[in-house]
Chains A and B, each alone.
Chain A
C-alpha cells in the first residue's frame, strides 16, 4: 500500500514539476547567474564580473528614473483605484432612498456592476490599442476631438497625452495619462470585489448601528470601512503587482517604448531595451534580479503591515 502511494504521488507530480522547473525555475536561476557576467547575449563570451553589474545599477541615471516611475505607479495606482472603487461601491450600496426598512442600494445597481466590470475582461492590449486612439494628439482622437468641438482646446495646439514629457506635479504628464487608463480599467473590478465584501457583512450590525441613530455616512465610515479592511489590503497587494506591470501600456502607448525622451521608462522597459536593443544580457539580468528582490521585499512588507487580527463574523 505505502508503495502504491509513493508511485501515485510521483506520477501526479512528475510532469507539472518538470515543466515548472524547466520553464520557470531554471530561467530564473540562470538569470541570477548571468547577472554576474558581462554576457552580451549573442556570443559565447561570458566573462565573470562579480557584482560589477549591480554596482553599475546604482549609478545608472536611466534606472534611477525608471525606479522612481515605478514607485509613482506603486503609490498612485492602488490609491486612486481603491479610492474610486470604494466610492462607487459606497454609492451603489447605500445611495438608494431611505425608508422604513433602512437605507437601500441604488436602483439598477446590478446593471452598473455589469458595466463597470467590462474593462476587466478586456485584455491589456485591447485596452492599450483602444486608448491609443482615444489619446490621439489630433482632432481624430476621442478626447481631443470632443474638447476641440466644445472649444476647450485649440485645434492647433491639442493635448499631446502620452507624447508629453512636461512635468505635472513633478511627474511627467505621460505617466499621469497612463495612470488614468490603469484606474479606468481597474476600478470596476475592485468595486465588485468591495460590494461583495460589503454584502457579506451581517445585517444585524447595520441594524444595530441604525438603531443607535447612525446615518448612512457614519455607518459607512465607522462600520463598513473598518470591516472591509482585509479586502482592501488584499486589493492593495494585487494592485501593487499590477502597478509593477504597467509595461503593456508603456510598450503600446508611448513613443519609442519608454519615451518621449525616457519620460515614461519603467524597470521592465529599460530591462527589455538593455537586453534586446543594446545587447547587454548580463546587465539586463542584474536589473531583473534587482526588480525581483524589490518585489519580494515589497510583498513581504505589505503582508507584514496589513496583517492584523481578523474580525470574525
Chain B
C-alpha cells in the first residue's frame, strides 16, 4: 500500500467496500501516530519542495537573464524579472553568436545519424538475436565491449583515421557533416544493439513462422513484421539516441576541427563550450544566457510533452 503514488489529494477516500477487509479488522491507528504522520508529511513536502526549487531556480534564472540587458546582468544579477524584455539578445546570439548555424549543423547531423543508428543497429541486433551462425557470439561481444571502453583512449587514432579517410574521400574527412554522422552511428551501435538484441529475443516465434509460411523472405519478415512489433523498444532507444547524440560534445570537439582555414561546422554543444570558454575576451553575458536558453528550452519542452515516454525510455535503458 505504501507506495501508491497518488495525486488526487490526501483526504481519506470513502470506504472502498467489498474487496477490502472491514476497517476494524486492521491494526488500529493510534492518535499519536497520526500526528507523527502529519509531521512527517509536512517534512516530506518541505524537503521535496526545496529540492524542486534547487532544480528549477537556476533554469529560470538562466532564461530570465537571457532577457536582460548586459548592464542589467551586471547590475542586478539576481533579479528574476528583467526591467524590459530584450528579445534582441536571442537574435544576436542566433546571428552573431552563430547559434543558428550550430543548430542547423546539429540538425543536419542528427537527422542522418539517428535514422542510420536505428536502422543499422536494429538490423544487426535482429540478425544477432534470431539467427544461428558461426561467429554470432564473437560479433555480439565485440559490440558489447564498446560499452566499457573509454572514448578518450581512441581519440588520437580516431582523429588520424578520419584525417586519412578525408584524403581519399573528402566528404568523410574532418569538419564534414557526413563524417560526423558516420562516426556517431559507429559509436552508438554498441548500446543500440545491446538494447534491441534483448528486445528481439522476446518476440514470439510463431508470428515469424507464420509469415515465413506465407512466403515472406527474410528481409521482408524483418521490415514488415518484426520491426513494427519492436516499436516500443525502438521508441525507447530512439529517445536515448536523440538525447545522447544531441548532447555529444567530445566527438565533435575532436573531429570538427578546422582544416586548411575553412570555418568549423560546429554542433550546438561544441559551439556553446567555445562561446563560454572564450567569454573572457568579449563579454556578451546576455548573449551567452540566450545561447544556453536556446540549447535548453527545445529539449525541455519536448520532455514535458513526452515526459512519460522519455522517463520510460531512459530508465529502461538502465534497467536492462
Contacts and interface: CB of A to CB of B under 8 A. Distances in A.
Contacts of B27: 210-211, 213
A54 B318 CA distance: 34
B300 to A, nearest CB: 7
Contact of A195 (B5, B142, B153, B307): B5
B218 A5 contact: yes
A196 B315 contact: yes
Interface string A75-93: 0000000000000100111
Interface of B: 1-7, 9-10, 12-13, 15-16, 23, 26-27, 29, 33-34, 37-38, 40-41, 43-45, 47-48, 51-52, 54-56, 58-59, 61-62, 65, 73-74, 77-78, 120-121, 123-124, 126-128, 131, 133, 139, 142-143, 146, 148-150, 152-158, 160-161, 182-183, 185-187, 189-190, 193, 217-219, 222, 243, 246-247, 249-250, 269, 272-273, 275-277, 285, 288-289, 292, 295-296, 299-300, 302-304, 307, 310-311, 314-315, 318-319
Contacts, number: 335
B154 A28 contact: yes
Contacts of A106: 41, 44-45, 48
4 residue pairs, one from A and one from B, having the closest CB atoms: A95-B44, A102-B1, A288-B153, A123-B247
B133 A6 contact: yes
Contacts of B142: 20, 25
Nearest to A148: B78
A147 to B, nearest CB: 11
Given A130-B292, A203-B1, 14 more contacts: A9-B133, A19-B185, A23-B183, A23-B186, A88-B47, A100-B15, A124-B249, A126-B296, A129-B272, A133-B288, A140-B77, A142-B58, A187-B51, A271-B155
Contacts of A170: none
Contacts of A93: 2-3, 5
Interface residues of A, dominant DSSP: helix
B141 to A, nearest CB: 12
Contacts of B310: 117, 121
A32 B61 CA distance: 46
Given A97-B10, A252-B276, A28 B58 contact: no
B2 A104 contact: yes
Interface string A44-86: 0000000000000000000000000000000000000000000
Interface stretch (A10-18, A155-163, A171-179, A305-313): A10-18
A224 B246 CA distance: 36
A120 B276 CA distance: 21
B158 A184 contact: no
A102 to B, nearest CB: 3
Interface residues of A, number: 122
Contacts of A251: 273
Contacts of A154: none
B12 A125 contact: no
A109 B7 contact: yes
B26 A100 contact: yes
A207 B186 contact: no
A96 B10 contact: yes
B156 A104 contact: no
A260 interface: no
Contact of A23 (B45, B182, B304, B319): B182
Interface string A263-302: 0000110011001000001001100110110011001000
Residue of B33, B78, B187 with most partner-chain A CB within 10 A: B78
29 contacts: A9-B131, A16-B193, A22-B161, A23-B161, A24-B154, A24-B187, A27-B157, A27-B158, A88-B47, A97-B38, A99-B10, A99-B29, A102-B1, A104-B2, A104-B6, A106-B44, A109-B7, A114-B304, A115-B52, A125-B249, A129-B272, A129-B292, A203-B1, A207-B1, A267-B152, A268-B152, A271-B155, A292-B149, A296-B149
